[in-house]
């Protein structure tokens, strides 16, 4: 089943022509009307006329997340604020968040991408989709909501939380599919088990669209084996629009709609383009975005691009499951955290010595972040209650800087590992 | 003279991991630090070893040089061998004086048994306990 078979199954040659045309006109338009982007191109001495083939896109400079932060809130927007019909904001732990804006057309394309994606996994007007992504500043809830409405599915805007009630509604309304984070789905599974609900026996739920946080094939296998529900991976970040691309029924990579996006992989160190199938860092150019264009944006997610025609008939390139990040950003309970921010916060607390380790574990569905710190000997006390309040003090200071609850463990100086070269202060023990 | 009854205890931070306490005990032994009495307080992830040692000043330096977190803490020793009930009397005096006992632990030597207590105002506690006729350990007794 296709939402738009003409564009989705466009022969490769036609798709490349379409992409080249889109990039060409996007770059010309940006160069003449967007000061930020013109300056970027001038700084590497590239003019719109230098783009003479699709592969010439590699001459264009990269865009980075830092640029979004530096130009907060709307300095990078290409349209007047009056043309913006919606904002979303993604959370970080310090500094400015990433603000994204959408014109009416931007929302339309986002919704259309999701309509194609939902159709590709067989979700349509006969379905009831429970959207258990957060609604609000986060893109997941509203994104899936409008996508599902477009294909004519009945939408249950459940958002997150009140899990028992969600299960009750799932049964009463005969929900057939759910969209949420993998960790929330695991929580729903746990609660269902506790109250004696078997999905296959007691509900009509058969499909789960999971994403917006890292997960693995191993986790998919576990979820499917214990719930009997077929799980699909979804991809997208707020800079692109939100979650917007999914696997098809083949589940052999996530289809990136070729008329909307041009996806490349580059070597994370050199920035040089890689061949299809080679593992590297994803770089994306959004071909139709209006509010703020994205040209060669370094998403920092590691994957590979497959450019053959999929067995489902779609010609759009597919990306392999995200295997990690090329920077050290951690996603903890949906919040982006850089170890450098934790380090900065720790160094503001005089009770903390010079060494620390960040240990991530997953307790059921919840991420748990433990920061082990060597204490500053000056603050050592022979009283247990003093030491416990010292620990609480460090925890509340970290909470203040990071806006994220962390558990602190006190260690004696010399107890934590020292690093000669590149320090690896993060132990991620979450089974993803 | 309250000073002669104020005893120096060494307090040592111990990670609550297998082998850490043994490692510290070995370091003390190798440094010829002789523990007369000790007590270990534990929480989930760390412990605090409190020890009465021979020559606390010199021992303190030896331990500190090993990179171990150590601190000198003033405690008071209540003689308990020849006066049963003296521990209760001492606690009673402290209670009446509003002196809070943080923790305590027992010591049994050849010539003397005692109970060491940690209070926030050791000098005031010594004066009050002595006035109440309670026998206290002198640094030179142990
Ligand atoms: Zn496919």
Token pair of A2 as six digits: 């296709």
pLDDT of A421? 60
Specify whether B99 is located in the same domain as B129.
yes
- Contact check, Cβ <8 Å, B46/A380: no
Of residues A380, A383, A414, nearest to B67 (C-beta): A414
A183 versus A210: the higher-pLDDT residue is: A210
CA distance A396 to A162: 28
User: Best mutation site among B7, B11, B48, B70 for testing chain A: the one with the most A CBs within 10 Å?
Assistant: B48
Specify whether B59 is located in the same domain as B111.
no
Distance A247 CA to ligand 1 centre (A): 7
- Contact check, Cβ <8 Å, B15/A411: yes
- The contacts of residue A364 (CB under 8 Å, 6+ apart) are A186, A187, A190
- Contact check, Cβ <8 Å, B13/A388: no
pLDDT of A95? 60
State how many domains chain B has.
2
pLDDT of B141? 76
- Contact check, Cβ <8 Å, A382/B68: no
- Contact check, Cβ <8 Å, A380/B43: no
pLDDT of A90? 83
Specify whether B66 is located in the same domain as B84.
no
Q: Which of residues 56-115 of B touch A (CB under 8 A)?
A: 67-69, 71, 73, 102-103
pLDDT digits (tens, 9 = 90+) for A380-431: 999 999 999 999 999 998 888 888 889 999 998 878 888 766 667 899 888 7
Q: What residue numbers bound the domain in which B99 lies?
A: 75-141
- Contact check, Cβ <8 Å, A380/B68: no
List chain B residues with CB under 8 Å of A410: 45-46
pLDDT digits (tens, 9 = 90+) for B110-132: 888 899 999 989 999 999 999 99
Asked whether residue A274 carries a pLDDT value surpassing 70, the answer given is yes
pLDDT-derived band at A93 (thresholds 50, 70, 90) equals low
Last residue of a domain, one of B72, B99, B115: B72
Asked whether residue B83 carries a pLDDT value surpassing 80, the answer given is no
Distance A1 CA to ligand 1 centre (A): 11
pLDDT of A337? 85
pLDDT of A325? 86
Last residue of a domain, one of B72, B87, B116: B72
Asked whether residue B44 carries a pLDDT value surpassing 90, the answer given is no
Q: Which of A28-32, A251-255, B83-87 has the lowest mean pLDDT?
A: B83-87
List chain B residues with CB under 8 Å of A377: 69
User: What average pLDDT does range B40-56 have in this prediction?
Assistant: 89
How close is the nearest chain B Cα to the Cα of A410, in Å? 7
Report the top-level CATH class of A335-428. Answer: alpha beta
Last residue of a domain, one of B37, B72, B107: B72
Share of chain A above pLDDT 90, in %: 73
- Contact check, Cβ <8 Å, B41/A384: yes
Asked whether residue A76 carries a pLDDT value surpassing 70, the answer given is yes
**Angle value at C-alpha A293, between A289 and A299, nearest 5 degrees:** 105
CA distance A346 to A353: 9
Specify whether B52 is located in the same domain as B65.
yes
Asked whether residue A365 carries a pLDDT value surpassing 80, the answer given is no
Share of chain B above pLDDT 70, in %: 96
What is the number of other CB atoms lying within 10 angstroms of the CB of residue A287? Answer: 22
pLDDT of A63? 95
Specify whether B62 is located in the same domain as B117.
no
Distance A255 CA to ligand 1 centre (A): 7
Asked whether residue A345 carries a pLDDT value surpassing 90, the answer given is no
pLDDT digits (tens, 9 = 90+) for A141-179: 999 999 999 999 999 999 998 999 999 999 999 999 999
Q: Which of A291-295, B44-48, B59-63 has the lowest mean pLDDT?
A: B44-48
pLDDT of A381? 93
**CATH number of B50's domain:** 3.30.2130.10
pLDDT of A74? 87
pLDDT digits (tens, 9 = 90+) for A109-147: 999 999 999 999 999 999 999 999 999 999 999 999 999
Q: Is the pTM of the predicted complex or chain greater than 0.80?
A: no
Token pair of B120 as six digits: 């926030």
HSE-CB of A297 using CA atoms within 13 angstroms: 23
Report the top-level CATH class of A5-327. Answer: alpha beta
Specify whether B81 is located in the same domain as B68.
no
pLDDT-derived band at A92 (thresholds 50, 70, 90) equals low
What is the number of other CB atoms lying within 10 angstroms of the CB of residue B142? Answer: 19
pLDDT of B1? 60
User: Residue ranges per domain, chain A?
Assistant: 5-327, 335-428
Q: Which residues pair with A86 in a beta bridge?
A: A102
- Arithmetic mean of pLDDT over chain A: 92
β pairing state of A177-180 and A207-211: parallel
Of residues B46, B67, B118, nearest to A387 (C-beta): B46
Distance A312 CA to ligand 1 centre (A): 4
Asked whether residue B79 carries a pLDDT value surpassing 70, the answer given is yes
Assembly ipTM: 0.88
Q: Which residue of B has its CA nearest to A416?
A: B15
Of residues B15, B42, B118, nearest to A412 (C-beta): B15
pLDDT digits (tens, 9 = 90+) for A39-60: 999 999 999 999 999 999 999 9
Answer yes or no: same fold for A5-327 and A335-428.
no
pLDDT-derived band at B85 (thresholds 50, 70, 90) equals confident
Specify whether B65 is located in the same domain as B121.
no
User: What average pLDDT does range A309-328 have in this prediction?
Assistant: 93
List chain A residues with CB under 8 Å of B8: none
């Amino acid at each position: 089943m296709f939402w738009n078979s003409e564009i989705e199954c466009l022969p490769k040659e036609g798709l490349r022509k379409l992409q080249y045309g889109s990039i060409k006109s996007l770059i010309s338009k940006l160069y003449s009307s967007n000061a930020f982007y013109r300056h970027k191109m001038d700084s590497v001495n590239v003019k719109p006329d230098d783009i003479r083939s699709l592969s010439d896109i590699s001459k264009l400079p990269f865009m980075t997340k830092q640029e979004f932060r530096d130009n907060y809130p709307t300095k990078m927007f290409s349209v007047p604020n009056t043309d913006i019909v919606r904002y979303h904001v993604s959370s970080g732990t310090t500094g400015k968040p990433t603000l994204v804006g959408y014109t009416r057309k931007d929302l339309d394309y986002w919704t259309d991408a999701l309509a194609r994606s939902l159709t590709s996994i067989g979700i349509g007007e006969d379905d009831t989709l429970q959207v258990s992504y957060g609604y609000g500043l986060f893109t997941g809830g509203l994104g899936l909501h409008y996508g599902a409405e477009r294909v004519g599915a009945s939408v249950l805007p459940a958002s997150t939380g009140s899990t028992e009630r969600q299960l009750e509604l799932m049964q009463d309304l005969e929900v057939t599919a759910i969209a949420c984070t993998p960790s929330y789905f695991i929580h729903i599974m746990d609660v269902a088990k506790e109250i004696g609900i078997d999905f296959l026996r007691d509900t009509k739920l058969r499909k789960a669209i999971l994403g917006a946080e890292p997960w693995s094939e191993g986790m998919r296998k576990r979820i499917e084996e214990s719930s009997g529900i077929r799980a699909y991976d979804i991809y997208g970040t707020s800079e692109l629009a939100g979650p917007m691309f999914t696997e098809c029924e083949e589940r052999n990579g996530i289809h990136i709609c070729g008329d909307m996006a041009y996806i490349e992989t580059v070597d994370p160190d050199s920035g040089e383009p890689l061949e299809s199938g080679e593992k590297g860092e994803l770089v994306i150019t959004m071909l139709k975005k209006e509010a703020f264009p994205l040209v060669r944006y370094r998403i920092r997610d590691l994957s590979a691009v497959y450019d053959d025609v999929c067995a489902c008939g779609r010609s759009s390139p597919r990306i392999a499951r995200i295997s990690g990040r090329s920077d050290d950003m951690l996603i903890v309970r949906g919040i982006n955290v850089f170890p450098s921010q934790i380090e900065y916060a720790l160094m503001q607390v005089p009770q903390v010595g010079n060494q620390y380790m960040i240990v991530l574990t997953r307790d059921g569905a919840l991420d748990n972040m433990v920061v082990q710190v060597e204490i500053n000997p000056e603050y050592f006390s022979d009283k247990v209650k003093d030491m416990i309040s010292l620990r609480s003090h460090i925890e509340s200071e970290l909470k203040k800087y990071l806006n994220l609850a962390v558990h602190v463990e006190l260690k004696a100086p010399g107890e934590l590992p020292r690093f000669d070269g590149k320090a690896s202060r993060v132990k991620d023990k979450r089974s993803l | 003279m309250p000073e002669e009854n104020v005893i120096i205890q060494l307090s040592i931070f111990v990670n609550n991991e297998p082998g850490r306490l043994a490692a510290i005990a070995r370091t003390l032994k190798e440094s010829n630090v002789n523990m007369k009495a000790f007590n270990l307080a534990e929480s989930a992830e760390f412990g605090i070893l409190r020890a009465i040692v021979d020559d606390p000043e010199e021992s303190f330096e030896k331990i500190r040089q090993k990179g171990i977190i150590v601190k000198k803490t003033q405690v008071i020793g209540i003689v308990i061998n020849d006066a049963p009930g003296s521990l209760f009397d001492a606690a009673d005096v402290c209670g009446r004086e509003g002196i809070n006992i943080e923790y305590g632990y027992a010591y049994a030597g050849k010539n003397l048994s005692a109970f060491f207590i940690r209070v926030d105002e050791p000098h005031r506690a010594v004066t009050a306990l002595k006035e109440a006729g309670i026998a206290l350990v002198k640094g030179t007794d142990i």
